[in-house]
Amino acid sequence: PRKFAVFGHPASHSLSPRIHAAFAAQFDQTLQYDIIDAAPEQLADALERFAAEGGVGANITVPHKVAAFELCAEVTDRARRSGAANVLTRVGDGWHGDNTDGTGLVRDLTGRRRLDLRGRHVLLLGAGGAARGVAVSMLDAGVRRITIVNRTPANADALVDTLAAPDHVGSRYWKDMRDIGDFELIINTTSAGRSGEMLDLPSSLVNTLTTAVDISYGEVSIGFLSWARAAGCRHAFDGLGMLVEQAALAYEHWHGKRPDTDEVFADLQSHSV
């Protein structure tokens, strides 16, 4: 049988096996889908071993998305522009890489949350690997402007340069955040929550229509979402919807069938923290 797996470090908490099993069940199929915990220096070997044992599809999670991208023999355009890959498919004796995270986020925002992204001004918090993918898909979805604010200003400026869309993307200093006005959409891509740190954010970023989304989910996102609710955001939600959508895009690529994400999302949300 064809084998699938998620690669991460840590990986044991991953919801991907459960999501892919639920998708397969919709088509009366069963899957072999494993969790593989590989330290960064073992990723390349672990992926080759997986392929040698019949592995044909891999989901890639933290912290491997950039390294996985660099291991690929070929990549999609959206993976190249994101500089990261979260879906690897075995083609011949190499990996084909795609990035479905950003498209997954856009599907969650526009489909599930009924948000119109066109013409919006987005505040993007963070300028790391995840921020890059999110920014690329926001531009593709037709937002008017992205303001990037990052703890280390040089990293924000580097991301602005990489995106090469000067009419649509700019950066501001974190310390000036009280002076940059309010936003219809605020996306937290920082890893602060993963290390238990709270972001220092002013409520002046928020108006009565603001949607706040953290691309993490579960406990990691609680700090940011608590701030968002206290600051008066109309909607505040985590990245569980994005997770399910990026998985559905991978599932469709591997199995040629488009799963229903709503029931899987509802089930996961009813069990989340």
CB of 184 to ligand ATR, least distance (A): 22
Residue 136 in contact with ligand ATR, rule: CB under 6 A: no
**Residue of 47, 71, 130, 177 that binds ligand ATR (CB under 6 A):** 130
Find out whether 173 is annotated in a ligand binding site: no
Query: What residue has token string 């992926």?
Result: 47
Is residue 10 within 8 Å of residue 61, measured between CB atoms?
no
8 binds ligand ATR (CB under 6 A): no
Contacts with ligand ATR in 197-216 (CB under 6 A)? 197, 199
Nearer to ligand ATR, 31 or 147 (CB): 147
65 in catalytic set: yes
CB–CB of 136/164 below 8 Å? no
Q: How far is the CB of 81 from ligand ATR (least distance, A)?
A: 15
Q: Is residue 89 close enough to count as binding ligand ATR by CB under 6 A?
A: no
Q: Is the dihedral of CA 222, 225, 229, 230 positive or negative?
A: positive
Specify the long-range contacts of residues 148-155, CB closer than 8 Å, at least 24 apart.
148/124, 148/172, 149/123, 149/124, 149/125, 149/173, 149/174, 149/177, 149/180, 150/125, 150/126, 150/174, 150/190, 151/190, 152/127, 155/127, 155/128
190 part of the interface to ligand ATR, by CB under 6 A:
yes
> Which one of residues 151, 168, 172, 235 is an interface residue with ligand ATR (CB under 6 A)?
151
12 carries a ligand binding annotation: no
Q: CB-wise, 11 or 31, nearer to ligand ATR?
A: 11
Among 17-25, 94-102, 151-159, 259-267, the segment contacting ligand ATR (CB under 6 A): 151-159
- Cα 125 to Cα 93: distance, rounded to the nearest angstrom: 38
CA distance 211 to 237: 8
Burial 208-229 (b: 16+ CB within 10 A, else e): eebbbbbbbbbebbebbbebbe
Stretch 109-128 residues interacting with ligand ATR (CB under 6 A) = 126-128
Q: List residues binding ligand ATR (CB under 6 A).
A: 126-131, 150-152, 155, 189-192, 197, 199
Q: Which sequence positions are flagged as catalytic?
A: 65
Annotated binding site for NADP(+), which residues?
77, 126-130, 215, 239
